[in-house]
Amino acid sequence: MIQIIWKELKKCRDLGANRMATLNKDSFKGMMLLNALKIHKNKLKSLDEKTLIANINLETLIEMEVAPATEEEDLNDVLIGEETANQPTPLDPSIKTEEISEQVPVLTNEDSKSLEPVTAVVQNVVKSTEQEGNCYCGKDRNMNIVELFCATCLRWFHESCISYQLGKLVPFMMNYVFLCKNCSPTGLESFKKNQAQFTQMCITTIANLMQNSTKEGKSRQYFSRDREIVPYIESHWEYITSLPRRVTQSWHSTIQKTLLKERGLIFVCQEPVPESPLSDCNYGLLSLELINIRPNYEAMVRAGHLKSTDLTGTVGVGRGGRGYKRRLPEFGGNQRKTRNDLGTPKLPAHGYPLDHPFNKDGYRYILAEPDPHAPFRQEFDESSDWAGKPIPGWLYRKLCPSVVLFALHDRAPQLKVTEDRLTTTGEKGYCTIRATHYVNRGSWYWECTIEEMPELSATRIGFSQAYGNLQAPLGYDKFGYSWRSRKGTVFHESHGKHFSDGYAEGDVLGILIELPELQSENYIPPTYKDKPLVKFKSHLYYEDRDELQEALKKLKPLPSSTIHFFKNGVHQGIGFQDIYAGSYFPAVSLYKNITVSVNFGPNFKHAPKDYTFRGMHERAEESIAEQALADMMYFTENENLRLDNY
């Protein structure tokens, strides 16, 4: 039952609904568990398999897709934007149940009768597809804010839900390449704004003017070239394109030529009123469906501006597995490839930015992501009053890694880490690297293998708290406990004592920590929502100041706590007893160019047979659930959060 609760808490963090609005502070903990169980109970009911098989073949329905568009079809939505890759099927949420018959081949009377009993089943499938929705938050599209279209899954994502700091953008842009964190092989969003063609600039401008007029209650369709279109482009030049701003006004005539050239295909023109000095040609879009304006990724690949290998999977293949059906005009298809046109920036695997701040000089940096459950999230997204102002920290949340690995930010910068973040190599003097996750109660195990140990090199392995010195060997201060390769010495607070024989290249070392749980201890992790957000290389981080002296004063031994060490499956003994209570990270210190790799589970080479423990890999999912609970408690305890009093 506890495992179910943890899993549901993890899902609560990722779903769009704010389920904590009605909880009472006094009964928060009990209600939280009940709420998790309720969510589990209220999952979509399983379909009646017998009825389904007897009356309809779902695979046949899925194959009954719309035929490709012909040249005779209306060009309205063909030229404004790409249709979605997964063209409407009978199970598509955009098609009502009664319209299914228009999308599938003609059925006999007998077949039609067999379909009637499963109407409710099809409706359930439609409803579940609607729940899948766009964006991480699962909410509907919002035309008043910037939204980005993923090149792989073909879903829309709100700017406010994207962790990557995008810079200056406007809605309805077409000149970018975006991958969401679910599709990116790195687990991080990637974004690149390309140079916009003048046709794209005009489409984006008119679409924004239309949407702005709708917000004002006017719903205009035509706009003056000289008094509205050109001024909008001029005031939003850096937002719309990566081209340098033009010094002269010769581009005004280029706008005129573009609007006239694509007249009847993309744009429509309203002739000026005769004998009116303020009247000029008004232009609008042939299609009024602004929802279809999006990048043409397939055209980018054909034009050489984007490599299909830069995207995961096949370009333009979405959830339904179909390619694009309709295409935008290929603007500038014969242009030369440049180095900047070859796709999105390369990022390391497992979702952490390549360029990032290190924990040093008394400050710690915690990678943040937008919190879809934060109050007044939509008001903040749609408001322009916050331009250039600090972002409230409670609108974001700590990003919880989904896998236990070596931390890129919580290490000495001179240490080298492989792309899979499971192997590290030292350089010169002793320095330390910690894992991404900590433990503060229970019994936990991980392994370390000595891959290469050149002459005179050495290592120390063990556990370290967050305040352990990274530019020193593990066990140098009160926050670390280590076992050294040379002479098998164990270290804590720079005091060494003989423990066992040493270990060498090829040895597999096991480390087991046992931390009894204290009923009086609060194990809820910090949220950092009250900390300032700082921007570094297109990502936001919480900046937390180290409270080293205060942490030293709080150190107290934890009775019955132990750290065991193993060598090639053989128990070497208890290295430490009654260690200080706290949160401990697996840690490794390296001296000179030694190389070690770690194994956090689940497949250990020499798992202890006589001990009950959990592999460190299990800590990833558990920490996500704990962080979700901490975030929800923060919003419950701070009910008066407002944008106007920040």
pLDDT digits (tens, 9 = 90+) for 136-189: 888 888 888 899 999 888 899 998 888 887 778 889 998 888 888 888 876 778
Which is higher by pLDDT, 43 or 360? 360
pLDDT bracket for residue 307 (50, 70, 90): low
> Is 474 part of any domain?
yes
Measured at the CA of 352, the angle between CA 348 and CA 355, to 5 degrees, comes to: 75
> Is 415 part of any domain?
yes
Q: What is the pLDDT of residues 83-128, one digit of tens each?
A: 333 434 333 444 343 333 333 333 334 443 433 333 333 333 333 3
DSSP per-residue codes, 371-393: -TTSTTHHHHHH-STTTTSPPPG
The answer to whether residue 304 scores a pLDDT higher than 80 is no
pLDDT of residue 360: 79
The answer to whether residue 17 scores a pLDDT higher than 70 is no
pLDDT of residue 57: 36
The answer to whether residue 558 scores a pLDDT higher than 60 is yes
pLDDT bracket for residue 310 (50, 70, 90): low
DSSP per-residue codes, 294-317: ---HHHHHHHTSS-GGGSSSSTT-
Cα(86)–Cα(322) distance, integer angstroms: 5
* Helix pair angle (28-41, 2-14), 10° resolution: 90
- Burial environment of residue 296 by CB neighbours within 10 A (0 to 12, 13 to 18, 19 or more): buried
Mean pLDDT score, 286-300: 86
Look at 57-61, 248-252, 429-433, 615-619 and tell me which has the smallest mean pLDDT.
57-61
Q: Provide the domain limits for residue 484.
A: 406-526+548-618
Pairing of strands 614-615, 442-452: parallel
Of the spans 9-18, 349-358, 623-632, which averages the highest pLDDT? 623-632
Which is higher by pLDDT, 249 or 555? 555
> Is 461 part of any domain?
yes
> Is 65 part of any domain?
yes
Contact 175, 193 (CB under 8 A): yes
Cα(180)–Cα(10) distance, integer angstroms: 20
List Cα–Cα distances, 532 to 22, 26, 443, in angstroms: 28, 29, 35
> Is the pTM of the predicted complex or chain greater than 0.85?
no
In Å, how far from its chain's centre is CA 443? 31
> Is 502 part of any domain?
yes
Cα(33)–Cα(23) distance, integer angstroms: 11
pLDDT bracket for residue 491 (50, 70, 90): very high
Look at 265-274, 365-374, 484-493 and tell me which has the smallest mean pLDDT.
265-274
pLDDT of residue 94: 41
Strand partners, 282: 224, 270
Which domain CATH number covers 482?
2.60.120.920
DSSP-derived letter for residue 209 is: H
Average pLDDT, the chain: 75
Question: Which residue from 629, 625, 614, 630 is spatially nearest to 439, judged by alpha carbons?
Answer: 614
**DSSP 3-state percent helix, strand, coil across the chain (nearest 5):** 25, 20, 50
pLDDT of residue 308: 59
Q: What is the pLDDT of residues 39-86, one digit of tens each?
A: 333 333 333 433 333 333 333 333 333 333 333 333 333 333 333 334
210: Cα within 13 Å, side-chain hemisphere = 22
pLDDT of residue 350: 59
Q: What is the pLDDT of residues 584-630, one digit of tens each?
A: 999 999 999 999 999 998 999 999 998 999 999 999 999 999 999 99
Question: Which residue from 348, 357, 349, 306 is spatially nearest to 538, judged by alpha carbons?
Answer: 357
> Is 480 part of any domain?
yes
In Å, how far from its chain's centre is CA 139? 16
> Is 368 part of any domain?
no
Measured at the CA of 545, the angle between CA 557 and CA 390, to 5 degrees, comes to: 145
Alpha-carbon torsion angle 350, 355, 359, 361, nearest 10: 180
The answer to whether residue 457 scores a pLDDT higher than 60 is yes
Mean pLDDT score, 20-46: 39
Domain count, the chain: 2
The answer to whether residue 345 scores a pLDDT higher than 60 is no
Mean pLDDT score, 19-26: 38
Question: Which residue from 579, 567, 576, 575 is spatially nearest to 608, judged by alpha carbons?
Answer: 567
Mean pLDDT score, 504-524: 93
Cα(379)–Cα(145) distance, integer angstroms: 10
pLDDT bracket for residue 26 (50, 70, 90): very low
pLDDT bracket for residue 133 (50, 70, 90): low
> Is 328 part of any domain?
no
